[in-house]
Amino acid sequence: MSGHRIVILGAGYAGLSAAKRFARTAREAEITVVDARAEFVERVRLHQQAAGQPIASWDLRELLERKRIRFVQARATEIDTERKQVLLDDAPALGYDTLVYALGSTGGTGAVPGVAEYAYSVATPEDVRRLPASLGTGPVAVIGSGATGIELAAELAEAQPDTRVVLLGAEEPAAWLAPKASAHVRRVLERLGVEIRGGVKVVEVTGDGVWLADGELVAAAATVWTAGFDVPDLAARTGLAVDGGGRVLTDASLRSVSHPDVYAAGDCAVIAGPGGRELRMACATALPTGMYAAEVISARIQGREPRPMKFRYLVQCLSLGRDDGLIQVLHADDSPAKTVLTGRSAAWLKERVVRFAAAGAGLS
């Protein structure tokens, strides 16, 4: 293993959890982490920041060098898989023996006209910095009744009780959870004054608001799109085998199915979970898959057979403002069980889970 060059692309939850594990399991290797950002910001708190709450950040160089891991702040622009090197925009090319591809995701547009031009996003720290002042005065339309849309709408409505916040989605909010859970989400959103528009199809976003398929305009001074993430196109441009959305196809050991020196983890990877069901884009996926990628790579370079990945989701947690929340217990296949925890205790537990995630990425 001595001198084996491991390059980790991306210092999000997946990349950092891989780096943390490598620091224990591959001490002799030369480990380098590359990220375009100088700082790690907790992505799972960006809806809080969008509603005006300060959130912490960590200096990546300081954090990684403490673990004797080299950090290069640069954007990866190309991967030359023949020469086994990564080309960077602001630093010399980096050679690798094994590459961990963990570039995560960004806000999507759902190919809906006007989203790219007129809608805002809370998917990345840069998106949150671009949010307009009109988010504070409203009316605000939040498109997407998945977890991010629900959390954002609740946070905005709680922070700005006089602002009209409309949550629009193809389904009712939290429709994928147990009936008790989705009923609680609706109750809290209504209590906070969020106007819920479920079962609607958004066909266009303009400077005036959101056009629905039935011809109605939902007027908004600011529109935020939360309905789905996109992944960077670097893997597809590089010729790695990817799915239709550009995520890296991996085998059971998170190895690229087309390039054996490349492994992928987190949002940018297609990973089979229990029963072959695809794992979802989540911090709850990124952390364990980053760690497992590091374990597999360390074992293989030491000539050992890695253990199979044991993975299952236990709960899904939603914050509903600062004083309420929801913990949905999950079956092994990620479907919702009957057990649901709500209210202050759920909010408290969700906060613990977020702190636990930060510790998993080595941030504590």
Ligand X SMILES: Cc1cc2nc3c(=O)[nH]c(=O)nc-3n(C[C@H](O)[C@H](O)[C@H](O)COP(=O)(O)OP(=O)(O)OC[C@H]3O[C@@H](n4cnc5c(N)ncnc54)[C@H](O)[C@@H]3O)c2cc1C
Can you give the binding site for ligand X, defined by CB under 6 A? 10-15, 34-37, 43-44, 46-47, 75-76, 102-105, 122-123, 148, 151, 232, 234, 266-267, 281-284, 286, 317
- Taking the least distance from each CB to ligand X, the nearer of 143 and 234 is 234
Name the minimum Å distance from CB 232 to ligand X: 5
Name the minimum Å distance from CB 35 to ligand X: 4
Sign of the C-alpha dihedral computed for residues 4, 9, 14 and 19 taken in this order: positive
In b/e form, how buried is each residue of 174-196, taking b as 16+ CB within 10 angstroms? bbbbbeebbebbbebbeebebbb
- Give the DSSP letter string of 247-305: PEEB-TTSBBSS-TTEEE-GGGEE-B-GGGPBPPSSHHHHHHHHHHHHHHHHHHHTT-P
Nearest to 319 by CA among 336, 341, 337: 341
Compute the distance between CA of residue 66 and CA of residue 57 in angstroms, rounded to an integer. 16
Name the minimum Å distance from CB 243 to ligand X: 15
Pairing of strands 85-88, 5-9: unpaired
Name the minimum Å distance from CB 215 to ligand X: 31
SS3 call for 91: coil
Name the minimum Å distance from CB 213 to ligand X: 26
- Give the DSSP letter string of 5-59: EEEEE--SHHHHHHHHHHHHH-TTSEEEEEES-SEEE-GGGHHHHHTT----EEE
- Taking the least distance from each CB to ligand X, the nearer of 59 and 208 is 59
Please, which residues have CB within 8 angstroms of residue 70's CB and are 6 or more apart in sequence? 30, 31, 32, 33, 64
- Taking the least distance from each CB to ligand X, the nearer of 196 and 293 is 293
Q: 261 and 84 in contact (C-beta within 8 Å)?
A: yes
Half-sphere exposure of 105 (CA within 13 A, CB side): 29
- Taking the least distance from each CB to ligand X, the nearer of 31 and 211 is 31
- Taking the least distance from each CB to ligand X, the nearer of 105 and 223 is 105
SS3 call for 99: strand
- Taking the least distance from each CB to ligand X, the nearer of 78 and 171 is 78
Name the minimum Å distance from CB 137 to ligand X: 21
Name the minimum Å distance from CB 141 to ligand X: 17
Name the minimum Å distance from CB 230 to ligand X: 11
Compute the distance between CA of residue 287 and CA of residue 12 in angstroms, rounded to an integer. 9
